[in-house]
Amino acid sequence: DGGITQSPKYLFRKEGQNVTLSCEQNLNHDAMYWYRQDPGQGLRLIYYSQIVNDFQKGDIAEGYSVSREKKESFPLTVTSAQKNPTAFYLCASRSGYNEQFFGPGTRLTVL
């Protein structure tokens, strides 16, 4: 089955640690996105990538980093510079001008 997978589903981080969230898609989509979701604030765009080896900052990129070395993979690193990282993180992909397809999400909690 084609789709988007995110791992892990739940992630716990100690303060000062970097953590990496995985996002993989087998839909052969060119564009991929990372969103952060907080209660009552909808989805906010962190980073997006239109093609391999290219990515752009979204609205809240500070404290995050990404890479896009392969078409199917778009990992997100939450660095220690992100002061309030506890949130639900969603990865999405898109083909052409069509809608975005979302993964199941990763819930990150800082201990």
Partner 1 sequence: AQSVTQLGSHVSVSEGALVLLRCNYSSSVPPYLFWYVQYPNQGLQLLLKYTTGATLVKGINGFEAEFKKSETSFHLTKPSAHMSDAAEYFCAVRFMFSGGYNKLIFGAGTRLAVHP
Interface residues toward partner 1, by CB under 8 A = 4, 6, 33, 40-43, 45, 48, 50, 56, 58, 88, 90, 92, 97, 99-105, 107
Residue 32 or 110: which CB sits closer to partner 1? 32
Residue 72 CB, shortest distance to partner 1, in Å, is 17
Tokens of 68: 């896009």
Of the pair 43, 80, the CB lying nearest partner 1 is at: 43
Q: How far is CA 15 from CA 12, 18, 44, 80, 84, in A?
A: 10, 9, 23, 7, 10
Tokens, residue 37:
């979701």
